[in-house]
Amino acid sequence: MKPLIGIPTRTIKDLDAFPSYGIRATFTRALELAGGAPVLIPLQLSEESLRAIFARVDGLFLAGGIDVHPREFGENVEPFCGEIDTDRDAAEMNLTRWALDQDTPVFGICRGIQSLNIAAGGSLYQDIAAQVPAALPHPHRKGNPYNLRAHAIEIARDSRLARALGATRLEVNSLHHQALKQIAPGFRVSARAPDGIVEGIEAAQKKFAVGVQFHPEWMLDDDARMLKLFQEFVAACDRGSAP
């Protein structure tokens, strides 16, 4: 049986009081290509329902998206913070904390590395340009393809990320305006951009708790190493395999 990979969705505002929930298909495609069976998790569920879903999935995937409310890391909303989806925040914070508590594999991309870090007790820069003025440009520029290599990353040689990718230096895309500030207890930095911005974290004591700030799902078709990262995650979710 393929491992079930739960993915908290995002709010898509409709014209009436009831929104839709979805997630970009690049993520479900990557997870399925890697051998997983992705399952979308709606928002605004009761804790009982969310726990029932969590108990049945083999791994948790945290996708890209808009900003997490800064109250989740004890800060006020600064003027340079972006759009917020508090229903998504609530589901992701609960699910990620349960995953870390029970050592359910968790993999986060972009907003996902940020949610993972916050749920584990870390914090963010609410805007790189405003708060780290010496940083390279990290946000997406309108018109650029999403697989455009924007900057290099240096990957720690002894990290899970380096083993999965088979590389310690990579050119990656960059589609984010926020970045990790305080790294959560139990996590280490696995990759940085040349300006010091954190591009990867992982928890050494967990079966698989990994986040990346770049978007491997947009580079699958031009760099075979990117799929390996998803395959490592899905393999860790396979309860039938040896640890």
Binding site for Mn ion (CB under 5 A): 138, 174
Least CB distance from residue 195 to Mn ion, whole Å?
9
Q: How many angstroms from the chain centroid is the CA of residue 117? A: 9
Nearest approach, Cβ of 31 to Mn ion (angstroms)?
A: 22
Query: Which residue, judged by CB position, is nearest to Mn ion in the bound state?
Result: 174
Selected catalytic residue, list 110, 177, 232, 237: 110
Nearer Cβ to Mn ion, position 159 or 174? Answer: 174
Quick check: is 215 catalytic? yes
Active-site residue among 92, 177, 215, 232?
Answer: 215
Buried residues in 28-50 as b, exposed as e (16+ CB within 10 A): bebbbebbbbbbebbbebeeeeb
Q: For residue 183, what are its two tokens? A: 């790294």
Give me the catalytic one of 92, 199, 202, 217. 217
To which H or E segment does residue 209 belong? strand 209-212
**Residue type for 194, please?**
P
Angle between helices 111-119 and 86-102 (to 10 degrees): 60
| Backbone torsions φ then ψ of 72, nearest 5 degrees | -65, -20
DSSP symbol at 70: G
Element (H, E) at 179: strand 179-180
22 versus 194: smaller Cβ distance to Mn ion: 194
Strands ordered across the beta sheet of 188-192: 37-41, 4-8, 59-62, 106-109, 209-212, 198-202, 188-192, 151-155, 169-172
Least Å from the CB of residue 126 to Mn ion: 16
Q: Which is nearer to Mn ion, 96 or 173 (CB)?
A: 173
Least distance (Å) between residue 76 CB and Mn ion: 25
Q: Which of 208, 225, 207 is nearest to 216 (CA)?
A: 225
By beta-carbon proximity to Mn ion, the closer residue of 10 and 138 is 138
Cβ at position 108, least distance to Mn ion in Å? 15
The answer to whether residue 110 is catalytic is yes
Output 5 or 68, the one with its CB closest to Mn ion: 68
* Residue with tokens 């690049």, as numbered in its chain: 26
**Annotated active-site positions, please?**
110, 215, 217
